[in-house]
Amino acid sequence: MFHRFANPARFSRIAARVLPWSGAATIALFIIGIYYALFASPPDFQQGETVRIMYVHVPSAWISMACYSFIAVMSAVALIWKHPLADIAARSAAPLGAGFTLIVLITGSLWGKPTWGTWWVWDARLTSVLVLFFLYLGHIALTNAFDNPQRGARAAAVLALVGFVNIPIIKFSVDWWNTLHQPASVTRLDAPAIDPAILTPLLLMALAFTFYFVTMLLVRMRADLNAMRARALRLSAAE
Amino acid sequence: MEDITKFLDMGGHAAFVWPALGVAALVVAVMTVTSLRALRASKIALGAAEAQAPQRRLRTGLTGTDS
C-alpha cells in the first residue's frame, strides 16, 4: 500500500490531482470556521472575547505537534529504508511546522497577558513549545547545511528522531508539572470539558488547519520533486 | 454602527485579539505564498530541463521504476 504511493512519479501525479480539491476544501473550511470563531459563537464566561484567540492557538498547537511526529516517522523511514520520498516529506513539512509553532507562541503570549497577567513564563509547557520551535529551526538549518543534500537529510533525520522526546513532554507537561498552562480539555478519555458552542468553532478551525497543512505539504513536496527531476535531467544532459 | 464598534472592541481586549489573529493570518499567508512560489519556480525549472534533454526524459531515476 505504502509502496504504491511511495513511487515519486506516481506520488506527484496523485498530488496534482488531489491539490485543487484539498485547496478548495481548505478555503471553504476556513470561511465556515472563521464565521463560527468570530461571529457565531459566544464569549467565554471566564475568558470573555479572548477565547477567540484559542480558535487559532489550539489548532496550531495540535498541528505543530502532529507535524513534528510526522517528520519523526518520515525520518525513521528515510534512515531505515532510505526512501527519497520520506526525506522530501520531512524537508517539506519542517518550515510549515516552524510557522505553526510561531503562531502558537505569539498567540499564546497575546492570550496570556490579559488572562494570566503575563506575556511569558518559563514553565514546562511554554518552554517545551519554545524548544519545539528551535528543533524545527535546527531541522531546517541542518537540511541546508551540507553541499551534499543526502548528508543534510540524514543529519536532520537524526535530529528529528532525537528531538521527538520533546513531543510527549509537551503533551504531558501540564499533567507532570505544576504549570500556569491549563490541562487538556478536548483530548481527554472522558467527554471534552468544553461547551458545544465553543467546541464547534474550535473543531472547525482544527479541520481547516489540518486541510491547510496537508495542501501546503503536497505543494511543497511537488515543488521539491520537480526540482529534483530538473536537477537529474540537467545532470544526465551534461554527461 | 454600534454593533461594529462593539465587535471590533472585543470586550475591551481588542489589543490582544486582533494582533493574535493578524499574526496567525500573516504567518499563514507567508507560508502559502512561499510554497506556491516554490511550486511555480520548480515547474519552470523542470520545463527548461525537459526542453534541453527531451530524449532522456524517461530514463531518469525519478520517472520510471515502480518500487
pLDDT of residue B66: 44
Partner-chain contact B39 A226, CB within 8 Å: yes
By Cβ distance, the residue of A10, A113, A233 closest to B60 is A233
Residue A176: is it exposed, middle or buried by C-beta count within 10 angstroms (0-12/13-18/19+)?
A: exposed
pTM: 0.90
Of A100-114, A138-152, A221-235, B51-65, least confident by mean pLDDT is: B51-65
Asked if the model's pLDDT at residue B65 lies above 80, the reply is no
Mean pLDDT, chain B, whole residue set: 82
Q: Cβ of A229 under 8 Å from any chain B Cβ?
A: yes
pLDDT digits (tens, 9 = 90+) for A151-199: 999 999 999 999 999 999 998 888 888 777 877 877 666 666 788 888 9
Percent of residues, chain A, with pLDDT higher than 90: 62
The band of B38, judged by pLDDT with boundaries at 50, 70 and 90, is: very high
CA distances from A140 to A13, A134, A146, A161 (A): 26, 10, 11, 14
Phi, psi of A48 (to 5 degrees): 65, -140
Amino acid at A158: V
pLDDT tens sequence across A86-98:
999 999 999 999 9
**CA dist list (Å): A68 to A17, A71, A132, A164, B58:** 26, 5, 8, 7, 35
The per-residue pLDDT for B8 is 85
What are the grid coordinates assigned to A6, written together?
Answer: 511511495
B10/A96 touch (CB, cutoff 8 Å), yes or no: no
Average pLDDT for chain A: 90
- Chain B CB contacts of A48 under 8 Å are 11-13
- Percent of chain A residues past pLDDT 70, beyond the cut: 95
Q: Which three cell numbers stand for residue A18?
A: 488531489
Across the interface, which of A9, A56, A225 has its CB nearest the CB of B20?
A56
Consecutive H or E run containing A105: helix A84-116
Residue A4 has pLDDT above 80, yes or no: no
Has residue B64 got a pLDDT over 50? no
Nearest CB to A228; choose among B20, B62, B65:
B62
Phi, psi for residue A173 in degrees, rounded to 5: -55, -35
Domain range summary for chain A, segments of one domain joined by +: 14-179+195-238
A14-179+195-238, what's its fold? Four Helix Bundle (Hemerythrin (Met), subunit A) (1.20.120)
> Which residues of chain A lie closer than 8 angstroms to B66, CB-CB?
7, 10
Does A99 contact B31 at a Cβ distance shorter than 8 Å? yes
- Calculate how close chain A gets to B2, using CA atoms only, in Å: 15
Place B67 in a pLDDT band, splitting at 50, 70 and 90: very low
Residues of A in contact with B62 (CB under 8 A): 8-9, 225, 228-229, 232
pLDDT in tens, A23-74: 999 999 999 999 999 888 888 877 888 889 999 999 999 999 999 999 999 9
pLDDT score of B59? 52
Asked if B64 is an interface residue toward chain A (Cβ–Cβ < 8 A), one would say yes
**pLDDT score recorded for residue A189:** 60
Best mutation target among A67, A211, A219 (most B Cβ atoms within 10 Å) is: A219
Which pLDDT does position A216 carry in this prediction? 98
A115 has pLDDT over 60? yes
Considering only CB atoms, B16 lies closest to which of A50, A103, A219, namely A50
